[in-house]
């Protein structure tokens, strides 16, 4: 059996410090063979940088997925072609930097990872995620890959469930990201695909989706634009663990990860990070 750990959206410096500090122990405690982390909000709450990517990979992540904030840090455009383990959504038009899928060799066989972005209530509008995922799965199957996981970065619960049902029996795990709130509907569909609507975030627990509470409440009260700084304090680390039969690619077990990490009281200002102006 292959045990895969997936961690949800890493939010800012508090989130990534907690993840980097915890990955090694979590891997040992849960007998994890393969780790995937969503780095969508890792840089000041928006996007990811090359340095952060390297830090997460060195800490133990085998693959980093992203989503609608993938291009928010300008430098990442040039970095994508140099690092195949950093993914952007597979349903970007042809010619976009980087790739939306990757296959990696492990001691227990090949593992495929696909990253896709939904279209309901999401910007920018992309091509059909279902068609992009199906093409990626077909290519992986032709390569002899049985164990495949999908990070579906989407807003609407209905779209995530529909993707999970459509992929049942075709991939080992479909896990949703983007909403930053972990759902409790982990299950294994009839065809052997493990599913969770949203993995949740790895970010400040006392926050609104990882951002300072006061600034978000002020925005809701006044309707006026404002910065949404990443909050401080203890970090909630959320994700999912799935056990997969390496021959059939079918999920055997699935369970949520939800734990509190002490975090840091003070988060220093970061240079070179684009200011955040929205909540996710």
pLDDT in tens, 201-251: 999 999 999 999 999 999 999 999 889 999 999 999 999 999 999 999 999
Section 110-115 average pLDDT: 98
Percent of the chain with pLDDT over 90: 92
- Clarify whether 69 is annotated catalytic: yes
Instruction: Report whether 118 contacts 155 (CB < 8 A).
Output: yes
Cα–Cα distance for residue pair 169/146, rounded to 1 Å: 11
Section 176-194 average pLDDT: 98
Q: 81 to each of 85, 88, 132, 238, 273, how far by Cα in Å? A: 10, 11, 19, 29, 21
Q: What is the pTM of this model?
A: 0.93
- Closest by Cα among 127, 141, 60, 140 to 88: 127
pLDDT in tens, 240-269: 999 999 999 999 999 999 999 997 544 433
Section 183-197 average pLDDT: 98
Q: 113 to each of 58, 181, 206, how far by Cα in Å? A: 18, 22, 31
pLDDT in tens, 49-98: 999 999 999 999 999 999 999 999 999 999 999 999 999 999 999 999 99
Please tell me which residue in 69, 153, 178, 180 is annotated as part of the active site: 69
For 79-133, the three-class secondary structure string (H helix, E strand, C coil) is HHHHCCCEECCCCCCCCCCCECEEEEEECCEEEEEEEEECCCCCCCCCCCHHHHH
Cα–Cα distance for residue pair 238/258, rounded to 1 Å: 5
Cα–Cα distance for residue pair 129/175, rounded to 1 Å: 14
The CATH classification number of 2-264 equals 3.60.21.10
Cα–Cα distance for residue pair 89/68, rounded to 1 Å: 8
Cα–Cα distance for residue pair 270/247, rounded to 1 Å: 45
Asked whether the predicted pLDDT for residue 272 surpasses 50, the reply is: no
Instruction: Report whether 39 contacts 45 (CB < 8 A).
Output: no
CA 183 to chain centre: 14
Asked whether the predicted pLDDT for residue 181 surpasses 60, the reply is: yes
- Provide the pLDDT for residue 263: 73
Per domain, the residue ranges of the chain are 2-264
- Provide the pLDDT for residue 59: 97
**Which residues, 6+ apart, have CB-to-CB distance to 180 below 8 Å?**
8, 9, 11, 198, 200, 201, 203, 209, 210, 280
């Amino acid at each position: 059996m292959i045990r895969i750990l997936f961690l949800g959206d890493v939010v800012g410096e508090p989130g990534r410090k907690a993840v980097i500090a915890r990955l090694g122990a979590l891997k040992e405690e849960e007998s994890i063979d393969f780790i995937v982390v969503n780095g969508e909000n890792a840089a000041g709450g928006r996007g990811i940088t090359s340095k952060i990517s390297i830090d997460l990979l060195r800490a133990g992540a085998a693959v980093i997925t992203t989503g609608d904030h993938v291009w928010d840090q300008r430098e990442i455009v040039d970095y994508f072609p140099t690092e195949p383990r950093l993914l952007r959504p597979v349903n970007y038009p042809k010619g976009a930097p980087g790739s939306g899928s990757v296959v990696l060799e492990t001691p227990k066989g090949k593992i495929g990872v696909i990253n896709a972005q939904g279209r309901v209530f999401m910007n920018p509008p992309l091509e059909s995620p279902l068609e992009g995922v199906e093409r990626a799965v077909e290519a992986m199957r032709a390569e002899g890959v049985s164990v495949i996981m999908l990070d579906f970065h989407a807003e609407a619960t209905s779209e995530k469930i529909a993707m999970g049902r459509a992929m049942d029996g075709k991939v080992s795990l479909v896990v949703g990201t983007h909403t930053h709130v972990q759902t409790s509907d982990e299950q294994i569909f009839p065809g052997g695909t493990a599913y969770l609507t949203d993995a949740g975030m790895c970010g400040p627990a006392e926050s609104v989706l990882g951002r300072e509470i006061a600034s978000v409440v002020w925005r809701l009260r006044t309707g006026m634009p404002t910065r949404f700084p990443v909050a401080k304090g203890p970090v909630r680390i959320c994700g999912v663990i799935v056990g997969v039969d390496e021959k059939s690619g079918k999920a055997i077990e699935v369970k949520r990860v939800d734990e509190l990490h002490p975090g840091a009281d003070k988060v220093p200002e970061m240079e070179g990070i684009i200011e955040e102006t929205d909540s996710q």
